[in-house]
Amino acid sequence: MAPPKRKTGGRVTPAGTRPTDKRASTSATKTSSADQGDEPHRYESGRYTAPTAKYVGESPKWVPILMLGLFVVGGLLIMARYLFWDEQLPMLIGMACLLGGLYTATKWH
């Protein structure tokens, strides 16, 4: 016969406490970390919240403008190669612009 499976879960808070109980040090930690910004944030529940990375947020306005510009220039150079030139240089530059626009699109938040 197989041994019984281990039961997971159970009490997370110390016995005799409730999730709604507030710690006295939590509010002091919250105000000091909010003022100084060098300590991790702790809220009323006492759970740790990791600080937000600096790069997370909205992209600068030039990112979508650069992306669209690279797409347009790349498309125009590829069309110009077939309409005006017999050499491959405009085609290669156009492909590089399209790839640059695609790379810039991945950086847009």
- Judged by DSSP in three states, 22 sits in coil
Only one residue has tokens 């009323």, namely 44
Whether pLDDT at 59 is above 70:
yes
Q: 60: which DSSP letter?
A: P
pTM summary value: 0.50
pLDDT band at 53 (very low <50, low <70, confident <90, very high): confident
Report pLDDT for 29.
Answer: 45
The number of helices, as runs of H, and strands, as runs of E, in the chain is 3, 2
Whether pLDDT at 26 is above 80:
no
What is the average per-residue pLDDT within 2-16? 72
Report pLDDT for 16.
Answer: 75
Q: What would the two tokens of residue 105 be?
A: 């699109």
